[in-house]
Amino acid sequence: MLIIRTLLDLSGDDFSPIKLMEEIRDPVLVFHTFEATDYNDGLKENYGFGSISILHPQKIGLQYELEQYEKWYVEFIEKYHETFLKHGVQEINLFIDAFYSLQCNFEIFDKALLRRITKYDISIPVSVVQLSSGEIREIMIDAGFDLEKVNTYVEENG
């Protein structure tokens, strides 16, 4: 059983997530954000750069259903890349968290999607975490999947 959570992470010295989000017209979930002038308690100074982490509106992608989930990220980047640059984005990363139980085999974007996205100079770091079937159920429920879908997915894949 496999669940993927992808974060589109944008950052830059002169990047303002607030100004960027004023121009984003697609539904997104903001996972984390701060402005360059926001105070960082840990460092006891301002961050000095802006950052935002954006999630697909569905939050997670499920094994055997990842094509549309991944395609959303590619299309979002293609649509807003110029807007990212206009607002000072210097670094683009797609952070992929893979949560699995039993066995972990997966493809990070298919070759057609990779071909489309690599022209944007994007890094794709991956983190893999083994979870129990119960923990996978909790993630799916938290992401808003209905209980019938959760039960069917766990039964068929767990």
Q: What pTM was estimated for this model as a whole?
A: 0.90
> Do β-strands 126-130 and 91-100 pair in parallel, antiparallel, or remain unpaired?
parallel
Instruction: Provide the pLDDT for residue 27.
Output: 95
Position 31 in a domain = yes
128 Cβ contact partners less than 8 Å away, ≥ 6 residues apart: 98, 100, 104
Position 105 in a domain = yes
Position 148 in a domain = no
**Overall number of domains in the chain:** 1
Position 139 in a domain = no
pLDDT per position in the chain (158 positions), as tens? 899 999 999 999 999 999 999 999 999 999 999 988 888 888 788 888 899 999 999 999 999 899 999 999 999 999 999 999 999 999 999 999 999 998 888 888 999 999 999 899 999 999 999 999 999 999 999 999 999 999 999 988 86
Instruction: Provide the pLDDT for residue 35.
Output: 86
Instruction: Provide the pLDDT for residue 33.
Output: 93
Instruction: Provide the pLDDT for residue 44.
Output: 84
Instruction: Provide the pLDDT for residue 114.
Output: 92
CB 39 within 8 A of CB 45: yes
Position 95 in a domain = yes
Position 89 in a domain = yes
Range of the domain at 26: 2-131
Position 71 in a domain = yes
